[in-house]
Structure 1
Amino acid sequence: MLELGRLPNERAAQALIDYLKGQGIDCQLQHAELGVTLCVTREQDYAKARREYEHFVRNPYDDKYLQASWENGNTGTKLDYGAPGLQLVTQFLSGAGPLTLVVMLSCTLIYLGFIFGFANPIFEALSFFGAVPDSDSTQIWRVFTPSLMHFSAMHIIFNLLWWWYLGGKIENMLGVTPLATLLLIAGTLPNLLQYAIGGPNFGGLSGVVYAVVGYTWIMGVKRPEKGIGLPPAYIGFMLIWLVFGFTDMFGLSIANGAHIGGLMVGLAQGFIDSRRRH
Structure 2
Amino acid sequence: MKLLLVLDDPRRAQSFVDYLADIGFKCELTLDDEHNVSIWLVDESQWLTAEPEVKRFIAEPLHPRYQDAAWRQGDTQVHFAKGQSQPGLFRDVLSRTGPVNMLVLLACVIVYGFSRLGLPMFELLAFPPQLSLLLGLDFWRGFTPALLHFSLMHLVFNLFWWWYLSSMVERRRGHGKLLLLLLVAALLPNVMQFLTSGPYFGGLSGVVYALLAYVWLSGRLNPMGGIGLPDGMAVIMVVWLVLGFTGVLGPVANLAHLGGGLIGLLQAWLDRAKPVR
* TM-score, normalised relative to structure 1: 0.76
Gap regions ≥5 residues in structure 1: none
Q: Tell me by how many angstroms 1:247 deviates.
A: 2.0
Q: Which residue in the other structure is 1:226 paired with?
A: 225
Equivalence for 1:197: 196
Q: CA deviation at 1:96?
A: 2.4
Whole-angstrom CA distance in 2 between matches of 1:270 and 1:2: 25
Q: Root-mean-square deviation (CA), in Å? A: 3.9
Deviation, structure 1 residue 174? 2.3
> What letter corresponds to residue 165 of structure 1 in structure 2?
Y
1:27-66 equivalences under 5 Å are 29-32=31-34, 36-38=35-37, 45=54, 47-48=56-57, 50=61, 55=67, 62=75
Contact 1:30 1:37 in 2 (8 A): yes
1:48 partner letter: F
SS at match of 1:184: helix
**Is 1:213 the counterpart of 2:212 in the alignment?**
yes
How many residue pairs get aligned? The number is 254
Asked whether 1:153 is paired with 2:152, we answer: yes
Match of 1:116 in 2: 117
Identity among equivalent positions (%) equals 37
Matches within 5 A, 1:27-106: 29-32=31-34, 36-38=35-37, 45=54, 47-48=56-57, 50=61, 55=67, 62=75, 77=82, 80-81=85-86, 87-106=88-107
Aligned counterparts of 1:267 and 1:143: Cα–Cα separation in 2: 21
2:97 counterpart letter in structure 1:
A
Which whole-Å CA distance do the structure 2 matches of 1:183 and 1:236 have between them?
22
What is the rounded CA distance, in whole Å, between the counterparts of 1:202 and 1:189 in structure 2?
14
Q: CA deviation at 1:129?
A: 1.2
- SS in structure 2 of the partner of residue 155 of structure 1: helix
Residue 267 of structure 1 aligns to which amino acid in structure 2?
A: L
Q: 1:212 to 1:39 in 2, by over 3 A?
A: farther
Q: Is the 8 A contact 2:134 2:140 kept in 1?
A: no
Q: Does 1:127 align with 2:126?
A: yes
* Residue of structure 2 equivalent to 1:266: 264
The 1:174/1:17 distance shift into structure 2, 3 A limit, reads: farther
Report the Cα offset of residue 180 of structure 1: 1.3
Question: 1:230 and 1:217, CA in 2 relative to 1: closer, same or farther beyond 3 A?
Answer: same
SS in 2 for 1:31: coil
Query: Which residue number in structure 1 is paired with residue 8 of structure 2?
Result: 5
State the alpha-carbon separation in 1 of the partners of residues 261 and 255 from structure 2: 10
Q: What CA distance in whole angstroms lies between the structure 1 residues aligned with 2:213 and 2:255? A: 15
Which piece of structure 1 moves more, 202-211 or 135-144?
A: 135-144
